[in-house]
Amino acid sequence: MKNTENKLNKIIGPIKLPLEIDNHVDYHSLYYFEYNNERWACVCYGDLSINKPIPLRIESACFFGHVFHSRQCDCGYQLMEAFSRIRKEKFGLVIYGIDQDARGLGIEAHYKIYDYRQNLNLDTEEVFEKLHAKLDNRNYNAVAAILKFININKIKLLSNNPSRISFLKSNGFEVVREEIEAPLDKFNMATMMLEKEDLAYQWSFLTHAYWLAPIQESVQKNINKYAGRIVESNKKIIAEWIGDEWSVANNLCPQLKDELKENSYVVYLTDYPRLDELKIYAAHHISLIVAPFSCFPEYLVQEAKKYGIKLQDWARENKYKEQRNQWSLIKMANQSHIYERGDTSLTINV
């Protein structure tokens, strides 16, 4: 096998522990390994000597997802789903990269990533430039050594990460893949879409870029044109509008049916929404609004929070090629909001 010249430096185990999976408690065998100053753990279940592809989940540590059950990522879902599938098949293993938090950067860097993103309004590229790091800093040499130690060669890999698949195959393992994909929601959507766009993860869904690009193209040559669309479950457009008034919500939402279900719908806009439009979207169970900018004004962010709406900036490859100035709220009165764009002002009666 390639890449396994350096052997495991430390092996402790197996130890037996009763783990609760899907409300059932079963004994599992656990190991602790060290490999080139990296710490790894392994959980084994059932008979792994069987002549079948062994279900395997390679799990990178995620302090937020695994310990605090953060919904910002799908890490917690994937780990528990892997254990659940292994239990149902009655055999399999999870190899856990203890030091692979933040794709190999560690827990401190994981905090910094969120800090730079949320408090400095940096986009993904700027965040990792500030960290002087690649988007993915992991390697899986230890995994090959652990599998060799346990004497496993045929693998059913529970993964959507193509780099893990290619690594195992290049090291002589027989690999078949089984997808393991968390349901998209307003909390994990941005993280999972970044993984698809930047790391080529094999997710089944389309990214924000796909839904934004056509409406951007329809307005990019005219600053006084506005467009929006509403997408259901990341699969189909259920409302769409383009026009020459900055009143997208009032033209989009009347197209919706009464039986809309909460959390399944995403609004894509070519421009910032008006402050008063957030209430309209909330009344139609819209909880996520996406626009192709690097950040939203703070007054919009705070108002959106009142209605349980997440505003998702998505400049990235969707950043306008030519500057597209936005209306900025400069004054609020009881019955009106006054906006300004360049030398032009606009009064919206509310």
Active site positions, annotated:
136, 138
Measured CA to CA in angstroms, residue 71 lies from 66, 115, 215 at distances of 10, 17, 29
| Residues 207 and 199 sit within 8 Å (Cβ to Cβ) | no
Q: Give 27's strand partners.
A: 18
| Residues 205 and 234 sit within 8 Å (Cβ to Cβ) | yes
Question: How far apart, in Å, do the first and last CA atoms of the chain sit?
Answer: 69
338: closest CA among 349, 323, 326? Answer: 349
Alpha helices in 97-231 (DSSP H): 101-104, 107-119, 124-130, 141-150, 162-170, 189-199, 208-219
Q: How far is residue 77 CA from its own chain's centroid?
A: 12
Measure the CA dihedral 110/114/119/123, to 10°.
110
Helix (H) or strand (E) segment spanning residue 310: strand 310-313
CA distance 234 to 36: 42
Measure the CA dihedral 230/348/321/227, to 10°.
30
CA distance 300 to 116: 20
Q: What are φ and ψ of residue 268, in 5° steps?
A: -110, 130
Q: What are φ and ψ of residue 263, in 5° steps?
A: 75, 0
**Largest pairwise CA distance in the chain:** 75
